[in-house]
A and B are shown apart, each in its own frame.
Chain A
Amino acid sequence: MSTDANSLDDLKSAATDAAEVPKESATTYVPFYKRVLAQKQGKIGLTITVVIVVLALCGPLLLPWATGNTATQFVTKPFSPYGLFGSDNLGRDVLSRFLAGGVTLIVYGVLATALGMIVGALVGMLAAYIGGTFDAVIMRINDVFLAIPQLVFALLAITVLGPQGWVLVTVIGLTHAPRIARVARSATLGVITEDYIKAAEMYAMPRWKVLIRELLPNITGPLSVEAGLRLTYSIGYIASLSFLGLGLQPPAADWGLMINENRIALSIQPWGVLLPVVAIALLTIGTNLLADSFARATASTSVEA
């Protein structure tokens, strides 16, 4: 199919396109998850997160087997032999409460993040796509919500509605939305001027299809980074609210609550505080490392060290 002239042409076309620095020609596309796992942030982050999540989710199931107690039952003897980590301020077994205390945190965290991502991404994409007054109005509303820190907003909501689970999830989720909307909007604005969007419109593709099939796949990078970050913050805020006594109420077993209850005794019985603190720390570090590796994986479509 080729003559000399054309093979020369093909060869040189295969070299590079525009840059002065020749980069490797025809880098083959490596799927996202592989790029994430290729980096040490990705590997470490994923490992830590999975370990803690598994611990938290399976904890309540392991509980009777591991310790023979429930999370709220009072152990008669303080520092008894089978209480590996001793007992807490009220005499309950620390290990039991620890095993039981992670589930709610993770479930609430994931739900809040999901809520925020869906609402925020949709709003941001629509604002950028529709543009004009709609965009301006949405951005002003966003600015108003951004004026109050998420935690203060949550406190306001709890004052009014009480420290209930759905309140926590909803308010944290909805306060994530404006921040996510900002990112989604600016990512969409970067894509919307591309010619393939114009091409799709030229072929009279229905608008919703343009949004989902042409736009959305091209902003998954920044969105996944946001998702990782938001998960980290969701867990942080919900744990903080529990710590403040405004999340799950006693006698429920919850890591944040445990930390608050036991910190008086920090110098004599550290485990009641240390176990949940280390768990929360590791979990948030894990999700943040994951978010960082998402960011690096988004930066290029080839595998980087």
Chain B
Amino acid sequence: MSPKTETVRHDDANEPNEKIVLRVSDLRVLTNAGDEILHGVDFALSRGEILGLVGESGSGKTTAGLACMGHFREGLKFGSGSVSIWPRGDATHLEVGDLDEVALRDLRGSRIAYIPQDPALSLNPAMRVGEQIREVLDIHGFGASEKERTDRVAEVLVDVGLPGDRAYQRRWPHQLSGGQQQRIGIAMAFAMYPDVLILDEPTTGLDVSTQSVVLDTIRQMTVANNVAGLYITHDLAVIKDISDRVAVMLRGDLVEEGPVSAVLERPQHEYTKMLMAAVPDLAGRKTIGDGAAEAKAVAEAVEKTHILVSAGEKSGDSETERTDADGATASARDGGGGVANAPLLEVKDVALAYGKAQILDGINLVLEPGECTMLLGESGSGKTTLSQCVAGLNDDYQGSVKLRGTELARSTRKRTNEQRVGIQYVFQSPFSSLNPRRSIGQSLTVPLEMSGEGTAVSRKAAVEEALDSVRLGRTFYHRRPGDLSGGERQRAAIARALVNAPSVMVCDEITSALDVSVQASIVALLRSLREERQLAMLFVTHNIALSRHIADNLAVLNQGKIVDYGPTAQVLEDPTHEYTRALIADVPKF
């Protein structure tokens, strides 16, 4: 047994009192091999209140949540401790750990309900939605008659904002949208008037407007039914929005707990403080990843860049605030007859259609050295398609992409070497962008091999330098992607993009799959790279909160069209388009 970490508590709401419905004491969960996953966790859920359980990946938050129902995923088992529940109307409590299978089953779905993360995965695709809600009622013997149960199904559907009629109930899950599926999940959970509700990241993967509707529904239903809720998530902005109390978990320990405002505004534990510092906020009141960035000694002020210098002018647009002093030596490079005064990257009238669907429509963007433009869009907006067109991965479009005034061939295979080298692309998934069967060094050497520069020795040196500049270090040369964490892999992917010293870097949702703290360090890294090398960046994301932290300009993409475009502060404070306004309004503010 590992020693238990002391939890920092802001008040004593955790002490036994009448309002508590579920209480977890000194809970330890082990793997089948005997390793401890949870090292003695205590928290309590009170009636009518939502406790947010927050942590990054590996914190054990889902394990703790599921343990409240006596459920352990494959490979895990109960160690020691207690989970006690006081069901409505009972004077004494039940020990979840003591219950047998039958009793546990009775509890689940009726007294303790669960709302899972991915509704598409948790609804039986071969069962109609009405039937799935009905099933919960049938099993737990709701009411006295068939009719009561049928009525209840319709009633709870209406409660969550869906039609309650028979026709709707007869639908299959795949006929509903993500948000609707999730609301079916909510309906299933509330059907039996439960005492405790465990929500496992239920809005991850939904777009912002749907998310805000679903959060509203959850809040309403919880209060109306006087239910105690446990909201498990990694998204601190959502926690602020919906929960009353928050508990922070780190690798199996509960490190801090208290009312939401207290913990988030006056964090006391080291980890909580670090977490708060790393969360991006829309108003941009801090610089995320700051500590990480500034403490790094910039080992070599990297001199190699390919900056457009036309007729002796240094690139003048400085929207970034940093020194020019150790800036880069300008090596004037022409991509074959470059036009003087042309912007570094120009996207003009790009349009793309698949069959009848217009994916992109009349896109115009301009990028200058050292500038970062954020391309903001939700899923389906076409942002990835656009970024791939710019990078040459997608050649189906009309319009032009110009690098220093020269129009680029649509597909990278047809571009010249210099043009290819000029624009580099970093993929979203760190798990998919590196070949698992080759070492990091080998994968990073590929761009150099393909551009045919230098010898094996000089290539190795270039790769090592790139690894250094992303703060990974040369020791990573021989390691394989499987040995690296998500954040490290993403740094390696960025290094691969840097190895050829490009002028433009296109980053496609590169932090979306990463934890908040890792995201902060990557953002800091990108910031320093921009400063050192005068890199122009196109940063594609759906997370508007990042905008002030990384972007000089903001372009909002909605259904293939750019609806708002301009300097970040301007777009955020004075949006011109309805869509942007709604987005800013709906986003949970930190």
- Given a CB threshold of 8 Å, the question of whether A touches B is answered with yes
The answer to whether B433 touches A196 (Cβ under 8 A) is yes
- A interface residues, tally (CB under 8 Å): 39
Give the residue of A2, A22, A301 whose beta carbon is less than 8 angstroms from that of B58: A22
- Which residues of A lie under 8 Å from residue B520 when comparing CB positions? 9
Known: A15-B251, A195-B429, A217-B437. A21 touches B420 (CB 8 A): no
B266 interfacial by beta-carbon distance below 8 Å = no
The A/B interface has a contact count, at CB < 8 Å, of: 134
Residue of A nearest to B447 (CB): A203
Closest to B60 in A: A22
CB neighbours (8 Å) of A205 from chain B are 446, 450
Q: Assess whether A164 is interfacial by the CB under 8 Å rule.
A: no
Interface centre among A20, A22, A25 (most CB of B within 10 A): A20
Q: Interface centre among B446, B447, B484, by most A CB within 10 Å?
A: B446
Bound CA span A204–B250, Å: 43
Q: 3 tightest CB-CB pairs across the interface, nearest first?
A: A15-B58, A5-B291, A16-B58
> What B residues does A218 contact at CB under 8 A?
435-437
Could you tell me if B480 and A29 are in contact, using CB atoms closer than 8 angstroms? yes
Tell me which residues across on chain A come within 8 A of B513, comparing CB atoms. 18
Specify which of A14, A28, A194, A199 is in contact with B485 (CB 8 Å cutoff): A14
Residues B446 and A18 in contact, CB atoms below 8 Å apart: no
* 5 A-B contact pairs sorted by A residue (CB < 8 Å): A9-B520, A12-B515, A18-B57, A21-B75, A301-B482
Q: Indicate whether A15 sits within 8 Å of B483 (C-beta atoms), given known contacts A4-B291, A5-B291, A204-B420.
A: no
Chain B residues engaging chain A, CB cutoff 8 angstroms: 37, 56-58, 60-63, 73-76, 250-252, 270-271, 274, 277, 291-292, 295-296, 391-393, 412-413, 415, 420, 425, 427-438, 443, 446-447, 450-451, 471, 473, 480, 482-488, 496, 513, 515, 517-518, 520-521
Closest to A14 in B: B485
A29 to B479, CA, bound (A): 10
Chain A neighbourhood of B73, CB < 8 A: 20-21
Which of B274, B292, B391, B520 has the largest count of A CB atoms less than 10 A from its CB?
B292
Task: Give the residue among B252, B392, B515 with the most A Cβ atoms within 10 A.
Answer: B515
Asked if A143 is at the interface of the complex by the 8 Å CB criterion, the answer is: no
Q: How many whole Å from B448's CB to the nearest CB in chain A?
A: 9
Q: Which of A12-54 contact B (CB under 8 A)?
A: 12-22, 25-29
Q: Is A214 an interface residue (CB 8 A)?
A: yes
Map CB proximity to B onto A187-206 as digits: 1 under 8 Å, 0 otherwise. 00000001110111111110
A residues adjacent to B (C-beta < 8 A) = 1-6, 8-9, 12-22, 25-29, 194-196, 198-205, 214, 217-218, 301
- A151 and B149 CA atoms in complex are apart in Å by 59
User: Are B486 and A17 in contact, CB atoms less than 8 angstroms apart?
Assistant: yes
Pairwise interchain contact A3-B56, C-beta atoms closer than 8 A: no
In the bound complex, CA of A14 to CA of B515 (Å): 12
User: Contacts of B451 on A, CB cut-off 8 Å?
Assistant: 203
Contacts of A198 in B (CB 8 A): 393, 427
Alpha-carbon separation in the docked complex, A12 to B251 (Å)? 8
Residues of chain B lying within 8 A (CB to CB) of residue A18: 57, 431, 486, 513
In the assembled complex, the Cα of A21 lies from the Cα of B432 at a distance in Å of 20
Query: With a CB–CB cut-off of 8 A, which chain A residues contact B391?
Result: 202
- Given A29-B482, A202-B425, A301-B482; A9-B517 close (CB under 8 Å): yes
Asked, given contacts A21-B75, A194-B432, whether A9 binds B518 with beta carbons under 8 Å apart, the answer is: yes
Would you call A195 and B427 a contact (CB within 8 A)? yes
Q: Is the CB of A204 within 8 A of B413?
A: yes
Taking a contact as CB atoms closer than 8 A, the residue among A13, A200, A203 that contacts B488 in the complex is A13
Measured in the bound complex, the distance between the Cα atoms of B391 and A25 in whole Å is: 34
